[in-house]
Amino acid sequence: MTLEILYFAWLRERVGQPRETVTTNAATVRDLIAELMAASEGHVAAFSDMASLRCAVDQQLADLDSPIADAREVAFFPPMTGG
């Protein structure tokens, strides 16, 4: 499947781009991250602290074990704060 991957804040800085299109066989967000980390050192840096990572699958907040079988977009961003 082909997915649009979006990166926000410091993840974008570490990966070096705000978005990319990938072809993947990943079943979950966690599987996708493993594939992305194999792509570059920037990806490794972006995903090195999983506790400081949030994601959304098709604009719905999701956890790392969420399935992505029918997804079109996965976004990664730091935790949000209110105020």
pLDDT given at position 52: 86
Q: What is the largest CA-CA distance in the chain?
A: 39
- In CATH terms, the superfamily for domain 2-77 is Beta-grasp domain (3.10.20.30)
Query: Whole-angstrom Cα distance, residue 56 to residue 75?
Result: 5
Query: Whole-angstrom Cα distance, residue 12 to residue 46?
Result: 8
Q: What is the pLDDT of residues 53-77, one digit of tens each?
A: 999 999 999 999 999 999 999 999 9
pTM to 2 decimals?
0.92
Tokens 């400081």, residue? 52
Of 15, 31, 22, 21, nearest to 68 (Cα)? 31
Whether the per-residue pLDDT at 83 is higher than 70: the answer is: no
Whether the per-residue pLDDT at 82 is higher than 70: the answer is: no
For residues 20-59, b (16+ Cβ closer than 10 Å) or e, as one string? Answer: eeeebebebbebbbeebbeeeebbebbbeeeeebbbbbee
Q: What is the pLDDT of residues 3-32, one digit of tens each?
A: 999 999 999 999 999 999 999 999 999 999
Locate the domains of the chain by residue range: 2-77
pLDDT given at position 74: 98
